[in-house]
Amino acid sequence: MTVSHATIHLLPEALCNKIAAGEVVERPASVVKELLENSLDAGATEILIELQAGGKKLIRVADNGRGMNRQDVFLSLERHATSKISCDTDLFALQTLGFRGEALASIASVSRFLLQSCATDQGLGQQIYAEGGAVRRAEEIGLPRGTVVEVRNLFFNLPARRKFLRKEPTELSHAADVVTKQALANPTVCFRLKHNDRLLLDLRRENGLRERFAALLGRSLLKDMLEIDQPSGAELRLTGLISQPRLTRSATSHIYTFINGRYIRDRVVQHAVMAGYRHLLMKGRYPVVALFLQIDPAQVDINVHPTKHEVRFREQGLVHDFIVHSLQQVLRPADWLDHPPTTVAPEPGATIPSDSLPRPDIVAPAVNEGPAAYHAEPRPAAATVAPNSPAAPATDFSTTAAGLPAEQLPLPESETGGFFTRLQILGQYHQSYLLCQDTDDLILVDQHAAHERIGFEKLRHAYAVGSVPSQALLFPQILELDYRSAMALEEHRAELERLGFEVEPFGGKSFALKSIPQVLADRDVGQLVIDVALELEKVGRAGQLEESIDEVLILMACHGVIRANQALTTEEGKALLRELDQIDFKANCPHGRPVMQRLTLTEVERLFRRQ
C-alpha cells in the first residue's frame, strides 16, 4: 500500500515575486511605466527618466513627488503593500494609477534595485538596496523631497528572460513610447528622458494638451488635428484631439486612448474610434488621436489585467456608441474645409531631435496623401470670402446623379452657401477634376469622389428614413442563378426591396428583377443584385447589419455615380458643389479618398520660382 505524500506547498515569497514580475515586468519599458505611475501618483511635477542601453543596463526615475518616510521605504518593497487602496470598494473608486502594490516588489526581485526617498524638507532621506529582491543595505542619505529609483541589470537573475530582450534601439523605443503616453496624459508635468546621457525629450510644463501634443508628436501635425469635447461638462465625457481624415498613419500606433487619465489599449475603445472614422479613411490607414474618456470609476473595472491596459466596462455598448457618436459629431460637418487651418509656427526650442528616437513612426512628420494644404501663411477668415454664386437653378444633374432630389436632405448650410458652394469654378481638368478658386487658393475637386460621397450619403439617408426610391423596369430582367445565390436572394427579398430592388421568383432558380433603385437607372445591375444578396447573406451570420448595409449602399453609390472622364458644364459643376455642401462627411469619398486638394497661392508661386 502506498502512503500518499502531501505534494502541495506554499511558494517562498521571493519566488512569488518573481512570478508576479513575469506578469508586470516584461521589458525595461514596463519598469518605466510602473515607476512613472508611482511618480505621478506621488504628485510629482518634474520627472527625470534616465536609461542606459535601452534600459537593459540602467533605468533611473527621479521625481519631486511627496516621497516616503523610512518605514514606507521598507514597506514599499513588500508585495501587496500599497498606500493607495485599503478596501475592496476602493477598487471601484480609483483615483490613482497604481493600486496593486506589487510593482516595486516585482521589479526589485528581478534586478539590482536602489530606492531613495525623502518625505520632508529637511534634506534627510532613506535609501535601500536590494539584489534579486534580497535587501543588502539600508541607510540614511541626504536627499531633497522626492524619490529616486534605480533599476540595474534587469533580469540579471533570470537569464532566460533576459535573452528575450531586444536590441537597444527597440527597447528604447518602447520606453519612449511609455513616456509619450504618460506625458500626453499629464501636460502640466515636466518630463525629461535621457538615453546614454543624451537628452531625448525635454518637455516643459504646458497648459494643455495641444502644446504637449505639439512638443511630443510634432508641431506640424497640430493644424490637422481637431479638438473634441463631447459633451462638454457632462459626466461621461470625451475630450482630446483627433486627426482630420487626411492625416493618417499606417498602424494603430498613434491612437492614444485614456480612461480617467490612464493610458489604455482596449478592444472596445479601439473599435469605437475606428467606427467613428468609418468611410473616411482609406483601407489600412489609421487616425492620429489623443482621446480622454472621463467616466464614473464605478462604471469601469481597471483590475482586469496586471498591466492595467485593458478594462471592462459595465455598459460596454453604451460607451462604445458614445465614443462613435462623439467622434462623428466633430467629423461629420467637415468644418476644417471651411476654416482652413492657419500655419503653426515652428517651435523655437523644439524638443525631440528627430534623429534621436529610433522610432520614425512616432516622431516623423506627417506624410500626407498628395500636395495637401500646407498653408504657408495665415489665411483670411472664411467669413470674408464673398459668396460668388447665388443659387443656380437646379439642373437635371442634381436630381439624377444620386437618384434623389437634393431637397430631401434638410440641411441648413446650403442657405448660407457652404464651403463648396462659395468656390468659383474655373474649369474642368481632364474631364475628372473641377478646378476652382477659394480666395487666393487653387482647389481641385475630384468629381468622382465627390459624387460617390453624395450618392452614398443620400442613399444612407433614404434607407434610414424608409426605403431607397426605386424605378420599375419596362421589361423585367430575368436572372438565372446558382443555388446559393438563389437562396440568398429568396431569403432577403424584403431587405432588397428596402434597398430599391424588387425581385420575384420566376420558377426554379430564376428570378425576375422588376424594379431597381433610381440611382442605378440605365445601369446593368443583374450582377449587382446578386452581390447585394450575397452581402446580406454574410450579415445574417456576422450580425453586423448596419455595417453591411453601408457596404451595399457604397456598392450602389459607386455603380450609380458619374465616373471620371465625364465632361461637366459649369452649371453641372456648380450643382455638384452645392450638393456637396448639403451632405455629411463631405471631405472624403466613402472609400476614404479626399474629395478636394488645395494649392495655396504661395505654393503655386513657389512652383514658378516667384517665392
Q: Which residue ranges make up the site for Mg ion (CB under 5 A)? A: 38, 98, 103
| Binding-site ranges for ligand ADP (CB under 6 A) | 34, 38-39, 42, 63, 65-68, 76, 81-84, 98-105, 147
By beta-carbon distance, which residue lies closest to Mg ion? 98
Planar angle of CA 589, 590, 592, nearest 5 degrees = 70
- Positions of E strands within 105-189: 112-118, 124-131, 134-142, 146-152
Closer residue to Mg ion (CB): 27 or 33? 33
One-letter-per-residue 3-state SS of 440-479: CEEEEEEHHHHHHHHHHHHHHHHHHHCCCCEEEEEEEEEE
The residue among 159, 166, 157 whose CA lies nearest residue 53 is: 166
Closer residue to Mg ion (CB): 98 or 245? 98
Q: Choose the contact partner of 517 out of Mg ion, ligand ADP, none; CB within 5 to 8 A by kind.
A: none
Q: Note whether 73 and 126 are within 8 A (CB).
A: yes
Please, where are the H alpha helices in 159-283? 159-164, 168-185, 209-217, 267-276
Kindly state the smallest distance separating residue 189's Cβ from ligand ADP, in Å. 13
Cell of 267: 478592444
Closer residue to Mg ion (CB): 32 or 362? 32
Cell of 349: 526650442
Residues whose CB is less than 8 angstroms from the CB of residue 257 and which lie 6 or more positions away in sequence, other chains included: 263, 264, 265, 266, 269, 270, 273, 289, 291, 293
Kindly state the smallest distance separating residue 290's Cβ from ligand ADP, in Å. 24
Distance, CA of 433 to CA of 66 (rounded, Å): 62
Closer residue to Mg ion (CB): 38 or 230? 38
Q: Note whether 243 and 289 are within 8 A (CB).
A: yes
The gap from C-alpha 571 to its chain's centroid, in whole angstroms, comes to 39
Judging by DSSP bridges, how do beta strands 502-505 and 596-599 pair with one another?
unpaired
Within 10 A of 500 (CB to CB), how many other CB atoms are there? 24
Cell of 476: 423585367
Residue 429's SS3 state is: strand
Closer residue to Mg ion (CB): 17 or 38? 38
Kindly state the smallest distance separating residue 553's Cβ from ligand ADP, in Å. 50
Kindly state the smallest distance separating residue 260's Cβ from Mg ion, in Å. 16
Kindly state the smallest distance separating residue 159's Cβ from ligand ADP, in Å. 25
Q: Choose the contact partner of 309 out of ligand ADP, Mg ion, none; CB within 5 to 8 A by kind.
A: none
Kindly state the smallest distance separating residue 152's Cβ from Mg ion, in Å. 19
Closer residue to ligand ADP (CB): 147 or 173? 147
Closer residue to ligand ADP (CB): 90 or 497? 90
The residue among 149, 152, 112 whose CA lies nearest residue 134 is: 112
Closer residue to ligand ADP (CB): 67 or 287? 67
Kindly state the smallest distance separating residue 258's Cβ from Mg ion, in Å. 17
Q: Choose the contact partner of 266 out of ligand ADP, Mg ion, none; CB within 5 to 8 A by kind.
A: none
Closer residue to Mg ion (CB): 103 or 300? 103
Q: Choose the contact partner of 531 out of Mg ion, ligand ADP, none; CB within 5 to 8 A by kind.
A: none
Distance, CA of 571 to CA of 575 (rounded, Å): 6
Kindly state the smallest distance separating residue 35's Cβ from Mg ion, in Å. 8
Q: Choose the contact partner of 76 out of Mg ion, ligand ADP, none; CB within 5 to 8 A by kind.
A: ligand ADP
The gap from C-alpha 189 to its chain's centroid, in whole angstroms, comes to 24
Kindly state the smallest distance separating residue 586's Cβ from ligand ADP, in Å. 48
Residues whose CB is less than 8 angstroms from the CB of residue 265 and which lie 6 or more positions away in sequence, other chains included: 257, 309, 310
Closer residue to ligand ADP (CB): 302 or 434? 302
Q: Choose the contact partner of 148 out of Mg ion, ligand ADP, none; CB within 5 to 8 A by kind.
A: none
Q: Choose the contact partner of 83 out of Mg ion, ligand ADP, none; CB within 5 to 8 A by kind.
A: ligand ADP
The residue among 323, 373, 278 whose CA lies nearest residue 592 is: 278
Residue located via cell numbers 453604451: 318
Closer residue to ligand ADP (CB): 68 or 209? 68
Residue located via cell numbers 526615475: 61
Running DSSP on this structure, what letter comes out for residue 54? G
Kindly state the smallest distance separating residue 186's Cβ from ligand ADP, in Å. 14
Q: Choose the contact partner of 401 out of ligand ADP, Mg ion, none; CB within 5 to 8 A by kind.
A: none
Closer residue to Mg ion (CB): 98 or 418? 98
Q: Choose the contact partner of 68 out of Mg ion, ligand ADP, none; CB within 5 to 8 A by kind.
A: ligand ADP
By beta-carbon distance, which residue lies closest to ligand ADP? 98
Kindly state the smallest distance separating residue 609's Cβ from Mg ion, in Å. 59
Q: Choose the contact partner of 63 out of Mg ion, ligand ADP, none; CB within 5 to 8 A by kind.
A: ligand ADP
Q: Choose the contact partner of 28 out of ligand ADP, Mg ion, none; CB within 5 to 8 A by kind.
A: none
Judging by DSSP bridges, how do beta strands 46-52 and 190-195 pair with one another?
parallel
Q: Choose the contact partner of 22 out of ligand ADP, Mg ion, none; CB within 5 to 8 A by kind.
A: none
Distance, CA of 137 to CA of 131 (rounded, Å): 10
Kindly state the smallest distance separating residue 102's Cβ from ligand ADP, in Å. 6
Cell of 470: 426605386
